[in-house]
Chain A
Amino acid sequence: MAKTTIDVTQGILRDVQSEIGKRVGMLPNLASERTKTLRGRINGAKATVSVCPYCAVGCSTVAYTDSTGMLLDVEGNPESPINAGHLCPKGSAIFGMTVNDARWTTVKYRAPFSHRWEERPLSWAMERIASLIKTTRDETFVREWNGKRVNHTRAIASLGGATFGIEENYLLGKLMHSIGVVSIENQARI
């Protein structure tokens, strides 16, 4: 289908006023100030091209943000040869993944035997995780197996990758291989 373009009539209601008057009665079509100045909220907003994070069809999206950086709207990118502006229901809901009251946006920690999550500073958590990796690695590192050099640890495993980018996969793989982790898996298997 050819892209539909709309002839925008800016003179609010004037053209249709008289005819509607005949149909509906007296003073039927009184536009409020809000109506007279109504414009889509993305008018003049910053547009950023992104990609849908759900399935692997790879639909291109456009995210609109206002001057304060607040997300206003996410929709399909009409320029894309894959989706030509269209999106499925999940893609149409991308906005709700970023803007969501239920989303967790702070670092959380659950101590051994604890019944709850508690918030912790990011740097604390990173330091703690790095030292746990080091301890585990140092204690479980295997240099040889059946007389062959293996240089690995089987006590650390990693799962994930299909939902984040190739740069992230690359860095994760490079890091894990250098640590000696062999159980590196992602959803591609699943």
Chain B
Amino acid sequence: MGRGGATAWVPDLANADCILIQGSNFAEAHPVAFRFVMQAKERGATIIHIDPRFTRTSALADIFAPIRSGTDIVFLGALVSWLIENKRYFHEYVSAYTNASFVVRQDFQDTDDLDGLFSGWDAASGSYDTTSWDFERDAQGQIVTDETFEHPRCVLNVLRRHYARYTPEMVENTCGIPVATFTHIAEILAANSGRERTTAFAYAVGWTQHSSGVQFVRCSALVQLLLGNIGRPGGGIMALRGHADIQGATDIATLYDLLPGYLPMPSALRTESTLAEYLASNQKKTGWWANMPKYVVSQLKAFYGKAATPENDFCFSYLPQLIGDHSMLPTTFAMKDGNVRGYFVIGQNPGASGQNAELVRSAMERLEWFVNIDSFENETSSFWNREGADPSTIATECFFLPAATVLEKEGTMTQTSRMLQWHDKALEPAGTSKTDLWYFYELGKRLKALYADSSDEKDRPILDMTWEYDDPDEPGEPGEPSARKVLQEINGYVTATGEQVASFADLKDDGSTASGVWIYTGVFPDATTNRARSRVGDDSTSLGWGWAWPANRRTLYNRASADPLGRPWSERKKYVWWDETKGEWTGVDVPDFPKTKAPDTPAIAGASGMDAHSGADPFIMLAQGRAQLFVPAGELKDAPIPAHYEPLQSPIHNALYAQEVNPMMRQWRRPDNRYNDSPHDYPYVLTTYRITEMSGIMTRYIPWLAELQPEAFCELDPELAVEKGIRNGEYMVISTALGEMEAKALVSGRMRPLRINGKRVHQIGIPYNYGRMGFARGDSPGELIALSMDPNVSIHESKSLTCNIRAGRRAPLATPDIEMAVPAQMRTTIGESVAHGAQ
């Protein structure tokens, strides 16, 4: 919907009348946030949980429906179909706030026409030409719309046709959810949406870690938009993210294809050699993103300070350019093939929690040097000493730098509702531990010194980058960096005076302002105010607690909580509305809309920026200001409307299309990354998840947690256990074409076989928390999962797989043959040449 964050504020879940939890084991993964679900339940809300396993979340839900892992789009698509066919969608919301009325181009062809493919498929390149995935335009270039929804090619009717075969019966035969359960859930969702009531959706990695992960989330957005639940209290889609600062790491983007603030990395796959070319290929003319040049220039000023001038394109050329997909999975293959020499791993443990963990570990053997920053020895740091490895053959020079823990440093983390929270330092780091900030700062200083005498153009970025973060409050320890100073730079300042910038609206594209991360502008609005350190909460939206981007908004697109005329949809669901007398938007949250733009403001045809939107278009980040039921060309690579594909490894054929799997999903067919190609040998569905008591290496060494779940286990149903002679509490082996792992069997009726198209399908589940080090230990399912990934965001598929099982223990790991022949054509020499695009 245009922004990279959860649309809602976690405590707002308490205001929901119904909560659908799917693709998330909410109670187990986020127990504290689940208290708001419980509060909603106590107020009468219906809690629905849809999951492959009966979990602690299911135990507290009113309705539990077991689903075959990886079939969520069938279920959600059937909901879309049911809502449209039964006219149970929120008509006014859909017609005003979504692109349901837009007419799709004549040459667009849907999956029903092409048996699983959309128009524009190019088999040779394995990708889509998305030109036809767009709207019909009139002579003036304006999109043709039909507010009556009668045009056969208007988006609503395209959806209706696209999902016509996603019937309750299809759900029963594909997902394993009985027809009666499905219609019961659909009725409840419809009954708890509309003017008076709202339904919230919550998901987590159970949806995203699939070959069609982005489409899973998209499909839930379709349902929520049809129900009119986006931008409203007790509504929205709550993305439950797994790590403390994972939102921050996305916003700031230590991700290969993004610069901080969701600005795309310049790419040599397009023509973006100059700032002008870069802006031409990325800037949208209408909507908020029209401001992009201001953010890019301010960021370059923040990076390179005085060196960045209008004359030299603000040092735009200092930024490296992409030549393909440089994400973790392709990089791992490149490493294995000897094309990566140095590797930093900071607070992450791909050697245990990575997919195809043995590939990761063996790839690291090809490194010249390796730096690990962590607080505990882990499977990655000591990959050279793992079971089956021979250190005397491994040339990698390894460093372990001890990391300060969160209590030992100050700084900011961004939680799942996009809220920045500053934490103070409670005590000095133990031993010689240092903060990650110190390590990066120190490395930067040392590199500057090493390159000090260079006149090579390539070294200018290092020499010109502004790098003055000495902490004035730590005079005794010269060189201690100040997180506050960094946050001030992230916020931004006026380059001439050094004064803090108060809002991203004040950023300029002429070099007069610098701002490291434009979306965070406002968190440090003046020299002394750190709004991430605000600590006054209340029972409502707590605007005095922390600071949420953008501009401290709790619920995104909250303009949609009012009707097109700016009135609350209902008294009960009052949130943000137009105050006629004051002539401004007001409410309990910061309006996510130009403050004084009246609801009746007309859109100006042909205008740029926000003027192109009317006063009733709530989705300000999108070009048309309307939520996208149909995603037009260029935004997603694999589908404008979500379609169901089976997981890469599935025991079942796709019941909807001849096209079995996502045609664009990335696969690596190599000897060190073998897939289960014969379903016959791997008849069981395997799903992975995390448990409440464990995280990863951060918990396995803590005895209090280790005793709660001390060993890797595998959950399976009693029928399967009997069939395979596996006894509860004893070891069993789980195998795939890639390898095997062992775990203690946990036989439970909570796991249940499903009947899919008359076939009995058993699912097993393995927690993804373990590794071979720590007090709590065991094999990780990462040993079983061959790498493959979603085409849009390069996320791996690890939630629905296939496997075989047997009683007993696995064989000891042998010395890996790192010379194992990978044919030349399979080797990865550079970033994978998979087209990348703006998210």
Contacts and interface: CB of A to CB of B under 8 A. Distances in A.
Q: Do A and B bind each other?
A: yes
A13 interface: no
Query: Which of A80, A164, A186 has its CB near the most chain B CB atoms (within 10 A)?
Result: A164
Query: Which of A46, A49, A180, A183 has its CB near the most chain B CB atoms (within 10 A)?
Result: A183
Interface in A137-190: 140-141, 143, 145-146, 148-190
Interface stretch (B192-200, B244-252, B574-582): B244-252
B255 A159 contact: no
Given A105-B402, A108-B400, A171 B440 contact: yes
A162 B399 contact: no
Contacts of B327: 183, 185, 189
Given A115-B385, A126-B446, A188-B246, 4 more contacts: A51-B415, A113-B392, A132-B369, A175-B443
Nearest to A69: B427
Interface string B80-115: 000000000000000000000000000000000000
A127 interface: yes
Interface in B458-481: 458, 461-462, 465, 469, 481
Interface stretch (B281-289, B338-346, B647-655): B338-346
Contacts of B481: 171
Interface in B224-275: 240-256, 259-260, 265, 268, 271, 273
A74 B341 CA distance: 41
A182 B256 CA distance: 6
B435 interface: yes
Contacts of A41: none
B245 A157 contact: no
Contact of B29 (A55, A102, A187): A55
B317 A151 contact: yes
B415 A113 contact: no
B123 interface: no
A161 B440 CA distance: 12
A134 B437 contact: no
Contacts of B395: 112-113
B443 A130 contact: yes
Q: What are the nearest 4 A-B pairs in CB distance?
A: A58-B415, A105-B431, A160-B346, A152-B320
B458 to A, nearest CB: 6
A51 B634 CA distance: 39
A158 B344 contact: yes
A54 B537 contact: no
B244 A55 contact: yes
B254 A169 contact: yes
Given A126-B446, A157-B340, A171-B441, A151 B243 contact: no
Nearest to A134: B450
B371 A129 contact: yes
A148 B321 contact: yes
12 contacts: A50-B423, A51-B421, A56-B242, A100-B702, A106-B432, A110-B399, A117-B398, A151-B318, A151-B461, A159-B344, A159-B348, A171-B441
Contacts of B334: 154, 183
A65 B395 CA distance: 44
A114 interface: yes
B411 interface: yes
Contacts of B588: none
Given A154-B326, A185-B328, A51 B431 contact: no
Contact of B320 (A82, A117, A150): A150
Interface stretch (B496-504, B678-686, B713-721, B791-799): B791-799
Nearest to A126: B442
Given A63-B407, A69-B427, A186-B254, A80 B461 contact: no
B323 A145 contact: yes
Contacts of B436: 164-165, 168, 172
Contacts of B407: 48, 50, 63, 71, 74, 94, 98
Interface stretch (A15-23, A25-33, A85-93): A85-93
Contact of B542 (A59, A81, A87): A81
A111 B368 CA distance: 11
A96 B703 contact: yes
Contacts of A129: 369, 371, 399, 443
Given A166-B248, A187-B242, A87 B32 contact: yes
Interface residues of B, number: 163
Contacts of B434: 122
A165 B245 contact: yes
B321 A187 contact: no
A50 B376 CA distance: 21
A128 B442 CA distance: 12
B280 interface: no
A133 B342 contact: yes
Query: Which of A81, A117, A126 has its CB near the most chain B CB atoms (within 10 A)?
Result: A81
A160 to B, nearest CB: 3
Interface in B421-463: 421, 423-437, 439-444, 446-447, 450-451, 458, 461-462
A7 B97 CA distance: 54
Contact of B244 (A151, A162, A178): A162
Query: Which of A49, A136, A169, A186 has its CB near the most chain B CB atoms (within 10 A)?
Result: A169
Given A97-B702, A145-B268, A164-B436, A57 B33 contact: yes
Nearest to A141: B458
A102 B249 contact: no
Contact of B831 (A158, A180, A183): A183
Contact of A166 (B348, B393, B411): B411
Contacts of A152: 320-321, 323
Nearest to A71: B427
A125 interface: yes
B350 interface: yes
B705 interface: yes
A86 B241 CA distance: 19
Given A104-B400, A156-B340, A97 B243 contact: no
